[in-house]
C-alpha cells in the first residue's frame, strides 16, 4: 500500500486487491497516532503504545495532562497543577492567599500566595527563612527570584530558594511578600 508524501498516510493503489475493511483499518491506525490520543493515565498509555515515535500526543485523564513523545521519552506539555501548602516558619503566616507550591510540567516548582509576620506590627527582615517547599515536589535548583513586596521608597525584594527547599526573603524590611509568579527549575 503506498503512502502520501506529506504525513505518510496509507491509501490503496489501483492495482491493490479490494479490501475496504483492511484499507480503512490501516488509515484509522495511521490517523490515531497523529491525533490527540486519550488514556486514563500514563500506565494505560504506555501499555497501549508499545512502540512510541516522536511527535505522538496523548491526553492523560489522571492527572489531567497533555503529553508529547520526544525521540526518547514522554514529556508533559501542560498539566493541572496540584498545589501543596508551603510549611511556614515559626512567626510567619498567610498574607492574602495561602502560600503554596506545585510542579509545573515536570520542570519547575511554581509558587503562589503571600507571607507576613504573625506578630502584629512586626516586619519581615532580610535573610528571613519564610518556609519550606514540600519535599514531595522535588529538589529545586537554588537561586534568586524577584518578587513583589509592600511598597515603600526603598523596598526591593527577592526570594532565595535553596536546594534544601527553603524559601528565604532577601531585601529591605517589609510587612509582606508575594510568592506569586516565582518559577524555580527542578534539579
Q: Which residue ranges form the domains of the chain, and what is each CATH number?
A: 33-79 (3.40.1620), 84-185 (2.60.40)
Q: Quote the pLDDT of residue 71.
A: 94
User: In this model, does residue 6 exceed pLDDT 80?
Assistant: no
User: Could you give the count of Cα atoms lying within 13 Å of 66 in the half-sphere of its Cβ?
Assistant: 6
Q: Quote the pLDDT of residue 33.
A: 77
User: In this model, does residue 153 exceed pLDDT 60?
Assistant: no
Q: Are strands 57-60 and 36-39 parallel, antiparallel or unpaired?
A: parallel
User: In this model, does residue 106 exceed pLDDT 90?
Assistant: no
Q: Quote the pLDDT of residue 4.
A: 85
Beta bridge mates, 161: 143, 167
User: In this model, does residue 152 exceed pLDDT 70?
Assistant: no
DSSP per position, the chain: --B-TTT--B---TTSPP-HHHHHHHHHHHHHTTSEEEESSHHHHHHH-SS--TT-EEEETTTTEEEEE-SSSEEEEEE----EE-EEPTTEEESSSPPEEEEETTTEEEEE-EEEESSTT--BPTTEEEEE--GGG-PBPPEEEE--B---TT--EEEEE-TT-EEEEEES-BSEEE-TT-EEEB-
Written as nine digits, the cell of 62 is 489522571
Q: Quote the pLDDT of residue 114.
A: 96
- Residue range 154-159: average pLDDT? 76
Query: If we measure between CA atoms, which residue out of 146, 88, 145 comes closest to residue 117?
Result: 88
pLDDT tens by residue, 26-85: 889 888 878 899 999 999 999 999 999 999 999 999 888 899 999 999 988 888 888 999
- Residue range 154-169: average pLDDT? 89
Assess contact for 112 and 97: CB atoms under 8 A: yes
What span, in angstroms and rounded, lies between the C-alpha atoms of 175 and 123? 5
- Residue range 159-169: average pLDDT? 96
Amino acid at each position: 500500500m503506498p503512502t502520501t508524501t506529506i504525513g505518510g498516510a496509507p491509501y490503496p493503489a489501483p492495482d491493490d486487491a479490494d479490501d475496504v475493511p483492511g484499507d480503512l483499518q490501516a488509515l484509522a491506525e495511521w490517523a490515531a497516532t497523529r491525533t490527540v490520543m486519550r488514556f486514563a493515565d500514563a500506565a494505560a498509555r504506555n501499555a497501549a503504545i508499545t512502540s512510541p515515535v516522536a511527535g505522538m500526543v496523548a491526553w492523560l485523564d489522571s492527572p489531567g495532562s497533555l503529553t508529547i513523545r520526544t525521540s526518547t521519552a514522554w514529556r508533559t506539555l501542560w498539566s493541572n497543577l496540584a498545589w501543596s501548602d508551603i510549611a511556614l516558619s515559626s512567626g510567619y503566616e498567610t498574607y492574602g492567599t495561602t502560600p503554596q507550591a506545585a510542579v509545573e510540567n515536570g520542570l519547575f516548582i511554581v509558587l503562589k500566595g503571600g507571607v507576613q509576620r504573625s506578630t502584629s506590627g512586626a516586619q519581615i527582615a532580610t535573610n528571613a527563612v519564610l518556609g519550606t517547599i514540600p519535599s514531595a515536589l522535588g529538589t529545586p535548583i537554588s537561586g534568586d527570584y524577584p518578587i513583589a513586596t509592600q511598597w515603600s521608597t526603598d523596598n526591593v525584594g527577592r526570594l532565595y530558594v535553596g536546594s534544601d527547599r527553603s524559601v528565604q526573603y532577601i531585601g529591605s524590611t517589609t510587612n509582606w511578600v508575594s510568592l506569586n509568579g516565582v518559577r524555580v527549575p527542578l534539579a
